[in-house]
Structure 1
Amino acid sequence: MMNSPVSSVGTITELFNAIINETCLSKKVTILRALRTALEQFPRQANVEDVQWDTATMCAFARSLLFSGVPIDSREDEERQYEQGDFPGVSETACEGMVCARLFLAVASPEQVGVSDFLTPLQVLCFAHGDPKLPWCSEASVSAASALAAQLESPSSARQLISLLKYIQPKLTKETWKKNPCYRRVFKVALFQLRHPDMSDALPIVLPPALLTRRRLHDAQPDTRTRLRSPHRGQRPPPSELDRHGYQEVLFDALKHLLYVKEPEVIVKLHTCIRNLLFSDYLDVLRTFRIKDEKRQRMAEDVYNELFTAAEMEQAFALRKAYSSQFCSYIECLGIDVVKYMDKTLRVLLEYVEVYDTEEQECRRNALLALAMLIKHTWLRIPSHFRKIVESLFKLAYDLDEHNRTVLWAEIVECLHLLRISCPDEYKTFKEDMSLLEGSDIPGIPKLRACVAKCEEKV
């Protein structure tokens, strides 16, 4: 005999309460399977609008699913790399719980299940089970999370994301964030789904955990430092918005501490973040109206100076490649203000041009691109530095030819072309000197003369 909706509601409510009160995961899985059966047998002819569920019990049920579907707080401030066997029973309980939640959504009215206290814990659970490689996840739990998320009301809407971030705040305080690897993951996933202007509204919520994560990057082992990320342009609030709320300097000071991390991937991502923070909405204003923001200029110059100091002292190829990849972008951002550091900049760039590089010649290529950008922005100062620049280019040509390298000649042509424009008199003398070496068997001279000839072809 088919159960009536009223008796089914009573049975399901009893199972809800049993799940809420059960703390043993294996026993909870058994009750969840019974609940799954009861939900599957719920009378389909019943009008969900006529079926009444107790809101407090529903919300407590959702919280219970979240509590048992993610790792509990660590007793110690653990930051080790977890493994699949570290959280027994969690993925199975989460999977059964999310299946039950999805079935329940089908038998309850949208008005009843649309309350934030019910939806938000379920959304946190879905975010937590987003990757089967995570130690508390499995293929089954990720599949169940995907199916449940598809039924939830706009889980990626700004309103729901902000509600979710507020909900997990207690797990990401100074005292608790190290004890909750799962909630750190949820925070990261939710944060990168926010877009401007909603990100601006969420800044008071997201900044404290974000700064704690930054601190973790600074103190962590090398393999955990590479989580720094620069959001897509559409995700981040413009620097002017951050500055208006007083957050720009806070973020800058937090990021600046990472300048001393010697990890190539962190170096690249960090400097991309800093440039986005300082310049993403500033360069157009600077170029169009010639209006300078002295505070941003000071911040940028501080980082520029640190970058070139670190690059000058570095000997490891991987780190030299990472540092040199940032030269050109910073010179473009600083523009004419780079003349304050002209001697240091040229010294570092020319040293990178001259010193032996790896097979790919990435450090030298980065230095040549930065040299071309420097000539563009400081062309009035270049005549006094012309001789040492062409001497470095000659040394580079000699080395490339002697080792049968076929790369970098296009970059050399571009630098010579810019020197020809900015220093016509000096370049004329240089060209005459090169003509005197016609027929020379010195390595690099024939190819350098070919580069000069290509410059003549440029308009």
Structure 2
Amino acid sequence: MEQDSSRESPSQERSSLPGEPPSSALGQSFSQVLRRLTSQESRRGKTRSAALQDLGALIEAAECDQLFEGSGTSLRGMPEILGQVAKVLEKYAAPPKEQEGRGHANAEVAEKAAAVGLLILKLLGKVEAAKNSLLCPTWKIGLRHLAGPIYIFAVTHSLEQPWTSPRSHEVAGEVLSLLLRVTQCSSVAGFLHGENEDEKGRFTVIMELLKPDLNKESWKKNPATKHVFSWTLQQVTRPWLNQHLERILPPSLLISDDYQTENKILGVHCVHHIVLNVPAADLLQYNRAQVLYHALFNHLYTPEYNLIQAVLLCLLDLFPILEKGLHWKGGAARPTTQCDEVLQLILTHMEPEHRLLLRRTYARNLPAFVKRLGILTVRHLKRLERVIVGYLEVYDGPEEEARLKILETLRLLMQYAWPRVSCRLVVLLKALLKLICDVARDPNLTPEPVKNTLLEEATDCLILLDHCSQGQVKGLLVKTLQSCEDSKVVNCIRKVRQVSEGASYDGT
């Protein structure tokens, strides 16, 4: 695989272009134009426009047999030079490092990208013409050098980013479509992993091109690189991804370990994709799964609700892999797992939490942890009880997402740990009745459909609580039914009594 020189600085690029003299006059012309594009003078608008115009004229005037010619011994045949052209153009249109005045810089990048995209379309048009003419069999060699840099350019400017404009976005989309057509791929995924068994795919080539910009010192110099990497990674799924694990895992962890929340979330999404699409055996090898777990666990101490959401979803899919190596032999107590550790930390954070977005995020994921642990949730019962009671007391906005999820958690808890519920009967009964009264008396804050859902969920929990306590709830609700005047509360209590007694309930 050729070394990537497109990610080097302009001075390095300029010095690499002369090298061995090109084997044709056309190659020399291309090299001269590339020198102009990579020189300091190219920053001036007129010089840049003139160089791009000359490059476009060269591409248009070149015949297919000239454009893809090259001897077997020459290192500077036209396919290699065309690869250099694509790399320089991709680098030329790349967004600069984040800086002040980025609005003006982004507009300039979008303008460059639109102009470069039109040139690449001309170049791919020549490849397509050579492919259809059947008179230039070397077009495949040229395409092999062109495909990687052109793909990176297309993805960089076809994603919705600050450095794109409607025009550059449109041109980049056309470039990607034409690239797929020329390479005879029906999708980006097919382009990357290969659509046939005997076709290697280009994912390795793309990762090698991105590699110089994905190390600790350089990954922030081009703000597009992380997005191109993330988007490209998520196009490749089972069974193709595991063979690239050594290439994709370090950059994913590097991005997730950044101080900016946006980058942390992007990196966690990359890690999550790896967890979902790499076999457990490969992740367990060399302790990789433990490395991922500790990297994710550290994020749970941050107060960013969207990061917490991404991390918890990823951890829930990582737990089955981590627990594959655990085997309970009976007799002794089951060992605690990483799921226990995470749930304990979540409950610790939930108790004093007052920020609504974080409360909703924790509550949203709590039922999945109870399902995951099952009967072993009894290890956390005391803290769960405090969290459930505390969260049921607090109004959570018109959608009441947190309270609905807490009711779901309580229902699951009673289903899995019912022998331990009866001793908590009074506490849970008071919390549920208080919730029902608060919702029934709420004049206008909560929409009626949400109120009805809350009352139904709370009533179902009362019914389950009655089953767990061998019918004690019915007896405790008798006095409440006699003294209560609110029709909605009375309706819920009657439903609990009638369902618990085995009678059908018609809601009247």
Question: Same fold by TM-score, threshold 0.5 exceeded?
Answer: yes
Q: Does 1:29 align with 2:52?
A: yes
**Cα distance in structure 1, aligned partners of 2:102 and 2:372:** 38
Residue number in structure 2 paired with 1:229? 269
2:34 corresponds in structure 1 to 20
Aligned to 1:436: 479
What is the percentage of aligned positions where both structures have the same residue?
20
Question: Counterpart in 1 of 2:89?
Answer: 68
Mark the CA change 1:262 to 1:433 in structure 2 (over 3 Å): closer, same or farther. same
Return 5+ residue gaps in structure 2 as ranges: 1-22, 43-47, 131-135, 186-190, 195-200, 444-450
1:300/1:69 Cα in 2 relative to 1: closer, same or farther (>3 Å)? same
> Which amino acid in structure 2 is aligned with residue 157 of structure 1?
H
In the alignment, structure 1 residue 127 sits paired with structure 2 residue 150: no
Cα deviation, residue 123, structure 1: 2.4
Distance 1:93 1:56, change over 3 A: farther
Q: Deviations over 1:292-343 (max 9, x none)?
A: 9x88x53222211111111111112222111110110011112222211110
Larger RCO, structure (CA 8 Å, separation 6 or more) = 1
Say if 2:33 and 2:55, in contact at 8 Å, map to a contact too: yes
Q: Secondary structure at the match of 1:367?
A: helix
Q: Is the 8 A contact 2:192 2:202 kept in 1?
A: yes
**Distance between the aligned counterparts of 1:439 and 1:119, measured in 2?**
78
Alpha-carbon distance, 1:355 to partner: 2.1
Query: Shift of the alpha carbon at 1:168?
Result: 1.1
- Structure 1 position 364, deviation (Å): 0.7
Match of 2:222 in 1: 180
Where in structure 1 are there 5+ consecutive unaligned residues? 1-8
Offset, 1:133: 4.1
User: Is this contact kept in 2: 1:321–1:362, CA < 8 A?
Assistant: yes
Aligned positions, number: 435
Asked if the contact 1:239/1:280 (under 8 Å) is kept, the reply is yes
Tell me: CA distance 1:198–1:178, structure 2 relative to 1, closer, same or farther (3 Å).
same
2: CA distance, partners of 1:429 / 1:112: 79
Written as runs of structure 1 = structure 2, the 5 A alignment for 1:116-265 is 116-131=144-159, 133-135=161-163, 138=168, 139-152=170-183, 154=185, 155-157=191-193, 159-216=201-258, 219-220=259-260, 226-227=265-266, 228-229=268-269, 236-265=277-306
Cα RMSD for the two superposed structures: 3.6
Q: Distance in 1 between matches of 2:212 and 2:401?
A: 46
Q: Which amino acid aligns with 2:116?
A: A
* Aligned counterparts of 2:294 and 2:224: Cα–Cα separation in 1: 27
Comparing 272-281 and 305-314, the one that deviates more: 272-281
Name the SS of the counterpart of 2:192 in structure 1. Answer: coil
- 1:6 corresponding residue in structure 2: none
**1:455 and 2:477 are equivalent in the alignment:** no
Residue identity opposite 1:165 in structure 2: M
SS in 2 for 1:29: helix
Quote the residue 1:353 is aligned against: 392
TM (norm. structure 2) is 0.75
Match of 1:52 in 2: 69
Q: Which residue of 460, 465, 468 corresponds with 1:422?
A: 468
Amino acid at match of 2:283: L
Change (3 A) 1:332 1:304: same
Alpha-carbon shift at residue 13 of structure 1 (Å): 3.6
Mapping of residues 338-349 of structure 1, within 5 Å = 338-349=377-388
After superposition, give the CA deviation of every residue in 1:185-242 in whole Å (9 maximum; x if it has no partner). Answer: 21111110111232211111011111111012xx11x566553437569952244431
Is the Cα–Cα contact under 8 Å of residues 331 and 338 in structure 1 kept in the other structure? Answer: yes
CA contact (8 A) 1:413 1:452 kept: yes
In structure 2, distance between residues paired with 1:76 and 1:245: 35
C-alpha distance in 2 between matches for 1:117 and 1:182: 21
- 1:74, 1:179 within 8 Å by CA — same for their partners in 2? no
**Which residue number in structure 2 is paired with residue 269 of structure 1?**
310
Q: CA deviation at 1:361?
A: 1.4
Letter in 2 for 1:396: L
Query: What are the superposed Cα offsets for residues 347-388 of structure 1, whole Å, 9 maximum, x if unpaired?
Result: 101211122331221111010001111111111211111221
Match of residue 366, structure 2, among 324, 327, 330: 327
Q: CA, structure 1 residues 71+380, in 2 after alignment: closer, same or farther (shift >3 Å)?
A: farther
- Are the aligned partners of 1:413 and 1:455 in contact in 2 as well (CA < 8 Å)? no
Answer yes or no: is 1:372 the counterpart of 2:411. Answer: yes
The 8 Å contact of residues 393 and 431 in structure 2, kept in 1 or not, is answered as: yes
- One-letter code of the match for 2:183? L
Shift in alpha-carbon separation, 1:406–1:77, aligned structure 2, 3 A? closer
By how many angstroms is 1:62 displaced? Answer: 2.1
| 2:339 corresponding residue in structure 1 | 300
